[in-house]
Structure 1
Amino acid sequence: MSWFRRIAIGGFAVLLWGLGLAGAADAAPALWVVKGANSEIYLFGTLHALEPGAQWRTPAYDAAYARATTVWFEADLQGGDPQTVGRILARYGVDPTRRLSEKLPPDQVQALGRQVDLARIDHLRPWAAAMMLSMQPMLSRGASVEAGADLTMTRAARGAAKTVRTFETLEDQARLFAGLSEPVELRYLSDVIRERGAPRRLTLHPGEGSLEQAWLAGDMGRLGPRLIGDMRAENPDFYEALLKRRNLAWADALTRELADPGVELVNVGALHMVGPDGLPALMAARGFTVERVQ
């Protein structure tokens, strides 16, 4: 499974998935702690969509969660009801003037028509069509946003009366995609069309070689850097918008948080933890002590 399929595991606030950095401490999803003078922030890379019953919580994660008074997420997934998402999609994901089939070359229109009923998506912008196509195979195998780490912990944190904060809104995330240039959008869609027609090397379905299994095992050194390298090389403008600029903004917010005493826990798609533009590296570059604890 290529990077462009991974980013759409959930949609909108559940837009992003990824893998962590190298060197798993144990067979468990990656978790870091960033230490300030009198403060700590834990960084946890999530999978936004999981199969029901996936066992990913560990004593280390639960200890971090128990200590944290504030829990961060990318956006408020509980606010993503169908009506809200529908309104956002109508505003940012639909092109009322040009059909999708008019933007793609004939060979890709034909390939897309073999994968989906083109009439059902011809009104969508390329980014929205690409995301929908990317989500279908994974969700059809039983994975769901409801069972994902983000929504699971959002419900838990609110139930425990912890302070819940988000970096973005659902509309922010849709606006991010809508702000891409048409060539970047079309490249994203073209990659999805091509990858859907190719044999899958990595799937979300649990089992050897699956995306979920790699995340659960913390096997990040083998997969994470290659995914980031692929994205940066194949669609650098997409990488810049999707990851780098957002990570920099989030790192700035966390730097401000570390100025005050306390413990906080950040749960965001684990692709945001990868490489020199990932949150652990950015926080270390700001002079904080960063340690992978799981």
Structure 2
Amino acid sequence: MRIDSIWARLTGAFALILAWCFQAAPALAQDEAGRANAVTAPAATASAPRPAIWLLSRGDTKIYLFGTVHILPPELQWRSAALDRVIGEADELVLEIAADEMEQPDPAALQAMMLGKTAPLEWRVSPNRRAALRAMVADSGLQPLMLDQMQTWAATMTLSVAQLVAGHAEDGSIEEAMANMSGAEDALTAAFRERGKPISGVETVGEQMSFFGSMSFTAQREMLEEMVDAHASGAGAAFDPNESGWVSGDVESIAEEMRAMNPDLYDALLTRRNAAWTDWLIARLERPGTVLFAVGAGHLAGEHSVQAMLEARGFTVARID
């Protein structure tokens, strides 16, 4: 299982955490046009991009569901004509976390990542994995002491993001690579701000952190060990959204990856959050308007997807692209 691609599809805090660890927030707060151009620059692809879009509607309310990836290489061309039409039609954008909060998160929420003490990260894996973990930390560019002071889930996520970004760092500079990468949310935020349309979030940073914190220590340790094993086996090469099925709209490939998750992680990151978002979407149908609801692609794939939960409650969700 690719831990980095799981994070990239499921949590908006993914990019935020590495920016905080490297103190790279100023670099990430680049101008809106720069962000939009960075993630839509031409790239060689086998066919035109068609990331999946669905429609939930009732009466004079339309809600488009779009699955995002939270960190993308700058050269990737992923926006489709259908998505651009939806952007033009929608009255508002709803993300996992509102853009303003992502740019200026509550420091207290970020402190939820910390242990409140120092406990060497290598003590949290089996002895036979410790050398591999030390090598992974050394390659990451992160400070070992910082990781030792983090919750296990937070250290795992931070190393995963560093690994993903390092795969796209041509000159070996993770900080520079991070500054050059952005996610689908960045481009959508820029497009809606340019049009003067409102942007909000369905969760806060603090709420996302609480989902991670609810996982058992055993589940967090297993997650860390899975990441170390993947890195040691060479399975930690740069995550490629083209190969993963996201750009082409291959939702089943995404679903298969979600099914491989640790059960506790699956419940914390996917099932419980999807249930809450399903309630939010049903309530939003009571008000008129057209909404683009853009959340991690993993939430819109598989038998516990938002669409499946909506359909189980009697609503029809139609894929339009």
**Short-chain TM bin:** 0.7 to 0.9
Shift of 1:96: 0.6
TM-score (norm 1): 0.83
Residue pair 1:13, 1:76 contacting (<8 A) in 2 also: no
Query: For 2:236 and 2:149, how far apart are their aligned partners in 1?
Result: 31
Query: For 2:269 and 2:233, how far apart are their aligned partners in 1?
Result: 24
Cα distance change of structure 1 residues 27 and 13 upon mapping to structure 2, 3 Å threshold = closer
Shift of 1:247: 0.4
Residue pair 2:110, 2:206 contacting (<8 A) in 1 also: no
Residue pair 1:247, 1:279 contacting (<8 A) in 2 also: yes
Shift of 1:273: 0.3
Residue pair 1:27, 1:219 contacting (<8 A) in 2 also: no
Query: For 1:68 and 1:263, how far apart are their aligned partners in 2?
Result: 5
Q: Which residue of 2 aligns with 1:54?
A: 76
Query: For 2:298 and 2:308, how far apart are their aligned partners in 1?
Result: 13
Shift of 1:166: 0.6
Shift of 1:27: 4.9
Query: For 2:56 and 2:9, how far apart are their aligned partners in 1?
Result: 27
Query: For 2:66 and 2:186, how far apart are their aligned partners in 1?
Result: 14
CA displacement, residues 232-271 of structure 1 (integer Å, 9 cap, x when unaligned): xxx2121111100000100100001112222111111100
Q: 2:190 aligns with which of 155, 169, 189?
A: 155
Shift of 1:157: 1.4
Residue pair 2:55, 2:63 contacting (<8 A) in 1 also: yes
Q: 1:122 aligns with which of 148, 160, 165?
A: 148
Q: 1:217 aligns with which of 245, 248, 251?
A: 248
Query: For 1:139 and 1:288, how far apart are their aligned partners in 2?
Result: 39
Residue pair 2:7, 2:14 contacting (<8 A) in 1 also: yes
Query: For 1:191 and 1:109, how far apart are their aligned partners in 2?
Result: 13
Amino acid across the alignment from 1:248: A
Gaps of 5+ in 2: 16-47, 139-143, 170-176
Q: 2:158 aligns with which of 120, 132, 137?
A: 132
Residue pair 2:94, 2:200 contacting (<8 A) in 1 also: yes
Query: For 1:264 and 1:108, how far apart are their aligned partners in 2?
Result: 47
Shift of 1:227: 1.2
Query: For 1:11 and 1:264, how far apart are their aligned partners in 2?
Result: 20
Cα distance change of structure 1 residues 39 and 144 upon mapping to structure 2, 3 Å threshold = farther
Cα distance change of structure 1 residues 202 and 119 upon mapping to structure 2, 3 Å threshold = closer
TM-score (norm 2): 0.77
Is 1:274 aligned to 2:301, yes or no?
Answer: yes
Query: For 2:234 and 2:14, how far apart are their aligned partners in 1?
Result: 23
Give the superposed CA RMSD. 2.6
Identify which of structures 1 and 2 has the higher relative contact order when contacts are C-alpha pairs closer than 8 Å and 6+ apart.
Answer: 1
Shift of 1:292: 0.8
Query: For 1:95 and 1:105, how far apart are their aligned partners in 2?
Result: 23
Query: For 1:123 and 1:268, how far apart are their aligned partners in 2?
Result: 30
Q: Which residue of 2 aligns with 1:261?
A: 288
Shift of 1:289: 2.0
Amino acid across the alignment from 1:154: T
User: How does 1:16-95 map onto structure 2 within 5 Å?
Assistant: 27-81=49-103, 84=105, 88-95=109-116
CA displacement, residues 8-53 of structure 1 (integer Å, 9 cap, x when unaligned): 339963439xxxxxxxxx8510111112133211000011111224
Residue pair 2:8, 2:296 contacting (<8 A) in 1 also: no
Query: For 1:67 and 1:205, how far apart are their aligned partners in 2?
Result: 30
Q: Which residue of 2 aligns with 1:189?
A: 224
CA displacement, residues 120-170 of structure 1 (integer Å, 9 cap, x when unaligned): 522222111111111122212057585311122122212322121211111
Cα distance change of structure 1 residues 14 and 152 upon mapping to structure 2, 3 Å threshold = farther
Cα distance change of structure 1 residues 39 and 169 upon mapping to structure 2, 3 Å threshold = same
Cα distance change of structure 1 residues 93 and 204 upon mapping to structure 2, 3 Å threshold = same
Query: For 1:56 and 1:173, how far apart are their aligned partners in 2?
Result: 26
Cα distance change of structure 1 residues 99 and 87 upon mapping to structure 2, 3 Å threshold = farther
